[in-house]
Amino acid sequence: MARSVEVAAKRRLTRQIHVGKVLVGGDAPISVQSMTTTKTADVNGTLAQIYALAGAGADIVRCTCNDQEAAEGLARIVPRSPVPIVADIHFHVEMALAALEAGVNGLRLNPGNLRKPEEIKLVAREAKDRGVPIRIGVNAGSLDKELYDRFKGATPEALVASAKRELAYFQEVDFEDVKISVKASSVPLMIEAYRLASETFDYPLHLGVTEAGPPPHGLIKATAGIATLLAEGIGDTIRYSLTADPVEEAKAGRQLLEALGLRERKGLDLIACPSCGRAEIDVIKVAREVQEALEDKNIPLQVAVMGCVVNGPGEAREADLGIAAGKHKGHLFIKGKIVRVVKEEDMVQEVLKEAESIVKEGIEARLAAADANAEKEAEEDRKALFSEKGEDVNHSEQIIEKIRRKLDNQD
């Protein structure tokens, strides 16, 4: 069912760290992160969101620790969380120390906001004593003014220099349990900064386009940056920063990794044709209904919705399961083989039933259970539709012939 596909470039090998039970870097699977939007002091509300994020595919979740109530909340949240918890620290060293006391599995420090070397080294020493990793979270929007002025802006060189300076403080106290991010809201800047970081450091890199905005634009921006780098072999953990329910971040991150073949499929991969003149159904409507029926069931299948029976099963032959529409019928197919012809009004329900059966019994068993007359009935439907609408519904061959005659006459 799930297939592994090589990305364009071999993954860059980095050091490996532990964020709680999750390995980051080295040969570990690329992990998905998100961040809660609740007040951390609201323990039950925050835990509910953490569980929702974990269910949507998040491997690691970050919570803000901006005051004493948040730190006390973390002490109650960490033991009950299904995934490792990272505390987000911006301005106050006391909050970093309190978060460590609360038992968090990681810290994120913003070097543009927490600037005093002795305080940074104090946090690193305390983290080292507890075996807790720290992310150096550089952000173009909060870059240290001295670096901004020196490099004449938030350039890739400035972002990497910020990470290098923070890393030097850590190294003074022999702290190496580090991952690095150099985020920006500009996709080209983010890509170049991470490329430079990958040449500069051998620490794991946390990828993200910061403040990407609401979907769909934010999804496009984040995917453009993260996917580009992953395809180059750069990146060890990712986060979509969307102005949306954070569950959407986790879903997007998981789906991206599955689409690139970087994580084993755990959820639905829906493919659908763009429709054409042969389509016998509203492909968009049926595809949406299939997605709604299957998406929340964590069914790890590639499912195809095709608008006609002429080419549908052949074009989607690699799909685990699919439906192709004929006149008031649907051809249900598994790995390109027609297994059943169903009524049009039953197509979505039949796809759902077959998907559940495949997960329970396996593809080979379901192929063996195919209706004996399904292929013959499907072939008759294909011939009828081909006769009525033809392979070339846009009459391109006729147009080409006219073009040729016109050009011949000009000679």
CB 160 within 8 A of CB 193: yes
| 300's tokens | 């790890």
User: What residue ranges in 110-265 does DSSP mark as E strands?
Assistant: 134-139, 178-183, 206-207, 237-239
Polymer length of the chain: 411
At 395 the pLDDT is 56
User: What residue ranges in 282-394 does DSSP mark as E strands?
Assistant: 302-306, 321-326, 329-334, 337-343
CA distance 200 to 158: 13
- Give burial (CB, 10 Å; 0-12/13-18/19+) of 148: middle
CB 40 within 8 A of CB 76: no
CB 249 within 8 A of CB 52: no
Q: What domains are defined for the chain? A: 16-259 (3.20.20.20), 269-389 (3.30.413.10)
CA distance 114 to 118: 11
Phi, psi (5° rounding) for residue 3?
A: -125, 140
DSSP 3-state of 30 = coil
Alpha helices by DSSP H, 173-274: 187-200, 217-231, 246-259
CA distance 76 to 47: 9
- Give burial (CB, 10 Å; 0-12/13-18/19+) of 168: exposed
CB 217 within 8 A of CB 172: no
At 312 the pLDDT is 64
What pTM was computed for the model? 0.84
CA distance 323 to 330: 6
CB 366 within 8 A of CB 381: no
Task: Report which secondary-structure segment, H or E, holds 274.
Answer: none
φ/ψ bin of 72: left (φ > 0), alpha (ψ from -120 to 50), beta (otherwise) = alpha
Tens of pLDDT, residue by residue, the chain (411 residues):
444 445 457 899 999 999 999 999 999 999 999 999 999 999 999 999 999 999 999 999 999 999 999 999 999 999 999 999 999 998 899 999 999 999 999 999 999 888 899 999 999 999 999 999 999 999 999 999 999 999 999 999 999 999 999 999 999 999 999 999 999 999 999 999 999 999 999 999 999 999 999 999 999 999 999 999 999 999 999 999 999 999 999 999 999 999 999 998 888 889 888 766 666 678 888 889 999 998 878 788 999 998 876 666 676 778 899 998 877 788 899 998 999 999 989 999 999 999 999 999 999 999 999 998 888 887 876 777 666 655 554 455 677 778 888 888 776
DSSP string, 327-344: TTEEEEEETTEEEEEEEG
Helix (H), strand (E), coil (C) string for 23-55: EEECCCCCEEEEECCCCCCCHHHHHHHHHHHHH
DSSP 3-state of 244 = coil
Amino acid at 167: L
CB 300 within 8 A of CB 265: yes
| 156's tokens | 């890739």
Amino acid at 70: A
CA distance 52 to 66: 23
